[in-house]
Amino acid sequence: MARMSTQSFPATFMRGGTSNGLMIHRSDLPKDESEWQPILSSAMGSPDPYGRQLNGMGSGISSTSKVCVVSRSERQDADVDYTFVQVGIKDGSLDMAGNCGSMSSAVGPFALNEGLVPDIELLDGSAEATVRIFNTNTSKILHSTFSVDAAEAVYEPCGDYSVDGVPGTGSRITLSFLDPGGAKTGKALPTNNPVDTLSLPDGTTVKASLTDIANPGVFILASDVGVSGNIHPDTLGSNTDLMARLELIRREGAKAMGLDPDTQSIPKVVLLSSPSDAEAADGVNIICRALSMQQAHKAVPLTLALNLGASCGLAGTLAHQTAVAAKGRASVVIAHASGRVEVGSVMKDGNIDSALLHGTARVLMKGHVFYTVSSH
């Protein structure tokens, strides 16, 4: 008969962007990643048929059921390796298919504070440093530049930069995603088409731009599924028929991109619309509503914001067609359900050389996380 036992591991609980989650040294987990599931799912409070994760560190929504596993890197072009883990709320599954832009904001500061980059140098004598990060989910490099307390050589979280969707202010973290195109499929346009027509099981069709920049996304027009581009996430999430249809669209998009439709974390569906004249005059270039793990996102996953911002510069895509006053711009302002985010991209010879976004992060707690495992 199986018996339950309680164990623990050291971890830091951090907010990164509009998400939060556990930051863990890879050396504190089993070497074999297949052994992570019972540990991390229990630590986060999954599986939970009630969807609350009341028995763990999660809080029942996709943006707060996340784990970052970090270690020193043996690569010449990186200081640390980082694996992102999305923990299924109801089933406790571990999804490591894609990266998370929000939690990526926390990786550099965590790595510095934990002594994983002991030889870090301040930039030009200023109180800033850059940590080079290799994301194992996408096999891509990103650079994290952030404020440092020079006297203590640790991350300085205090500042006057704000992120819509997060109360208060913090020091600005700049993430530069190098060569972000084809993070999972090898190409920014996996089907080679700026727009595809997806045929759904019910016999209907929908137009979609299938782009893979930082993370794969299925971009559709809000009007094509019969909703306003400014729809509230709660209204969107409570429309069960529409949510079911959007999941069918996501699955067909995944198949067309050569991805596994059963993997919930990628691709994600994003609904697009043009700003009103007043919104455009206020600097908004495009409006979006995003889904994540079959939930309406309260803001927008930052890797999908990166994807959307870069897609605005790809001729013929729905983003390119929908965006207002974005042509030739180095950055795009995206309005989402909680405010706005500005993302930038650098194009060279028609390819996306890098994509930029800003965020904040903060250490919330540090200690030991307890989990239960069965033993015979």
Query: According to the model, what pLDDT value does residue 118 have?
Result: 81
Residue positions counted in the chain: 376
Asked if 3-172+361-375 and 196-351 have one fold, the answer is yes
Q: How confident is the model at residue 123 (pLDDT cuts 50, 70, 90)?
A: low
Tokens of 207: 């137009």
pLDDT at residue 125 above 70?
Answer: no
Q: Which CATH architecture best describes the domain 196-351? A: Roll (3.10)
Query: How sure is the predictor about 317, in pLDDT bands with cuts at 50, 70 and 90?
Result: very high
The single-letter DSSP state of residue 288 is E
Please say if the pLDDT value at position 375 is more than 80.
Answer: no
What Cα–Cα distance (Å) separates residue 365 from each residue in 11, 15, 373?
Answer: 9, 10, 24
- The residue extents of the domains of the chain are 3-172+361-375, 196-351
Residue 144's closest CA among 183, 116, 186?
Answer: 116
Check pLDDT > 80 for residue 350: no
- How confident is the model at residue 150, as a pLDDT? 82
User: Under the phi-then-psi rule, with left for phi > 0, alpha for psi from -120 to 50, and beta for the rest, what region is 203?
Assistant: left
Model confidence over 77-119: pLDDT tens digits?
A: 999 999 999 999 999 999 999 999 999 999 999 999 999 998 8
Fill in the amino acid letter for 279: E
Tens of pLDDT, residue by residue over 262-299, are: 999 999 999 999 999 999 999 999 999 999 999 999 99
| Cα(8)–Cα(364) distance, integer angstroms | 18
Instruction: For residue 294, give every residue at least 6 positions away whose Cβ sits within 8 Å of its Cβ, in sequence order, or none.
Output: 243, 247, 264
Q: What's the rounded mean pLDDT across residues 226-238?
A: 96
**DSSP string spanning 67-93?**
EEEEEE--STT-SEEEEEEEEPTTT--
Give 346 or 175, the one with higher predicted confidence. 175
- pLDDT surpasses 70 at 330: yes
Strands of 203-306 (E only): list them: 205-213, 215-221, 268-273, 286-292, 295-296
Q: What is the pLDDT of residues 2-57, one digit of tens each?
A: 688 899 999 999 999 999 999 999 999 999 999 999 999 999 999 999 999 999 99
Q: What is the pLDDT of residues 197-224, one digit of tens each?
A: 999 999 999 999 999 999 999 999 999 9
The residues near 360 (Cβ < 8 Å, ≥ 6 apart) are 17, 105, 157, 159, 161, 162, 163, 166, 169, 170, 171, 172, 173
Q: State residue 1's pLDDT score.
A: 59
Query: Superfamily for 3-172+361-375?
Result: Diaminopimelate Epimerase; Chain A, domain 1 (3.10.310.10)
DSSP for 348-362 reads ETTEEEEEEEEE-EE
> Residue type at 186?
G
pLDDT value at position 140?
96
Largest CA distance in the chain: 67
